[in-house]
Amino acid sequence: MVNTITVVGAGNVGATTAQRVAEKRLARRVVMVDVVPGIPQGKGLDQYESAPIEGFDSRIVGTNGYEETEGSDLVIITAGIARKPGMSRDDLLATNAGIVRAVGEQIRRTSPEAIVIVVSNPLDVMCYVAREATGFPRARVLGMAGVLDTARYRAFLAEALDVSVLDIQAMVLGGHGDTMVPLLSYTTVSGIPVRQLLDQATLDAIVTRTRGGGAEIVAHLKTGSAYYAPSSAAVQMAEAIVFDQRRILPCAAWLEGEYGLRDLFLGVPCKLGRHGLEQIIEVELTPAERVELEKSAAAVREPMQALATLTR
Ligand SMILES: NC(=O)c1ccc[n+]([C@@H]2O[C@H](COP(=O)([O-])OP(=O)(O)OC[C@H]3O[C@@H](n4cnc5c(N)ncnc54)[C@H](O)[C@@H]3O)[C@@H](O)[C@H]2O)c1
């Protein structure tokens, strides 16, 4: 257990994340920050009142400022607007960049030693904005997307195979968008290569559904985007860091030549431990997967350049 975990944004993803962090006993204090007066205070109090029932001892505090967050060990950024039907993640670029930049500057001031997990979209670019604003080393700025995309992929595979979700091992790499790269060559069911169990047409349909997994939920909800699975994914990363688990999870990390790519955040297999990013694991890719990863990197560079133009 660490002392303080801060969740910035007390909306759907943020509030669910704070509750999960407390229920998993990851921190003594969970601080939820939002710009809307009353919302983080009300939700935080409501959550704290569930403590005697759920049996956790974390104190959950809601606030509109950063003084209560001082010295946080971990900060999860969920602040920003979410997608509505018909919107792409990149449509959120200008608004969320301004929000994440302001949040990053506050974190730099109040929690200079924190590890940051970014959730706000467009994810890979918001990681870049957070890294620039905090000035933190790459080990301490990570993005959550791959764990969620992989969970969707695993859920759909388990459904098609009628097996436990726990028996599907898989990894989705690349940017958090339509160009994400599910690695079929590394997808196994209790060690059995998935291609021995499902035909190509079924696998193709599952990959397509995974790529559109976020949009499928937005189309149902109409007024917002997914938050139960996204908060689970962010908290799985937090848990790996807090308990120094050395788990290998697909996360957005700043690349410095890994996979032949540099100067961008992209989803790659990361070993997570008490220092944040402990190592990027480079796996062999098939020529097709390599092409797809490069395409995905190009799709992430586009909004990065658009942002540079916007802020020039
Ligand atoms: N990475 C992923 O896989 C993933 C998955 C789901 C959602 N998301 C993204 O997470 C973000 C949040 O989604 P949501 O569903 O919780 O949205 P939401 O609208 O429910 O909540 C966002 C919250 O951020 C707050 N906020 C705005 N500006 C702020 C600031 N400067 N400081 C603090 N708080 C601020 C808002 O008041 C609001 O309460 C969106 O950008 C969404 O696209 C990412």
**CB contact set of 306 (below 8 Å; sequence gap of 6+):** 90, 93
Ligand 1 neighbourhood includes 12 CB (under 6 angstroms): yes
**CB contact set of 45 (below 8 Å; sequence gap of 6+):** 60, 62
pLDDT in tens, 1-47: 999 999 999 999 999 999 999 999 999 999 999 999 999 999 999 99
- Ligand 1 centroid distance, CA of 227 (Å): 10
* CB 227, CB 105: distance < 8 Å: no
* CB 303, CB 165: distance < 8 Å: no
Take atom 18 of ligand 1 and give the residue whose Cα is closest: 11
- Ligand 1 centroid distance, CA of 124 (Å): 15
Q: What is the pTM of this model?
A: 0.97
- Rounded distance between C-alpha atoms, residue 247 and residue 60, angstroms: 27
Ligand 1 neighbourhood includes 236 CB (under 6 angstroms): no
Indicate which atom in ligand 1 lies nearest the CA of residue 227: 6
Under the banding of pLDDT at 50, 70 and 90, the label for residue 83 is confident
Residue 220: active-site member:
no
* Active-site entry in 152, 154, 176, 211: 176
Ligand 1 neighbourhood includes 87 CB (under 6 angstroms): no
- Ligand 1 centroid distance, CA of 41 (Å): 17
- Rounded distance between C-alpha atoms, residue 286 and residue 193, angstroms: 15
- Ligand 1 centroid distance, CA of 15 (Å): 10
Q: Pick 52 or 311 by higher pLDDT.
A: 52
- Supply the DSSP string of the chain, one letter for each residue: -EEEEEEE--SHHHHHHHHHHHHTT-EEEEEEE-SSTTHHHHHHHHHHTTHHHHT--PEEEEESSSGGGTT-SEEEE--S----TT--GGGGHHHHHHHHHHHHHHHHHH-TT-EEEE-PSSHHHHHHHHHHHH---GGGEEE-SHHHHHHHHHHHHHHHHTS-GGGEE--EEB-SSTT-EE-GGG-EETTEEGGGTS-HHHHHHHHHHHHTHHHHHHHHHSSS---HHHHHHHHHHHHHHHTT--EEEEEEEEEESGGG-EEEEEEEEEEEETTEEEEE------HHHHHHHHHHHHHHHHHHHHHHHHH-
pLDDT in tens, 209-242: 999 999 999 999 999 999 999 999 999 999 999 9
Ligand 1 neighbourhood includes 250 CB (under 6 angstroms): no
Indicate which atom in ligand 1 lies nearest the CA of residue 224: 15
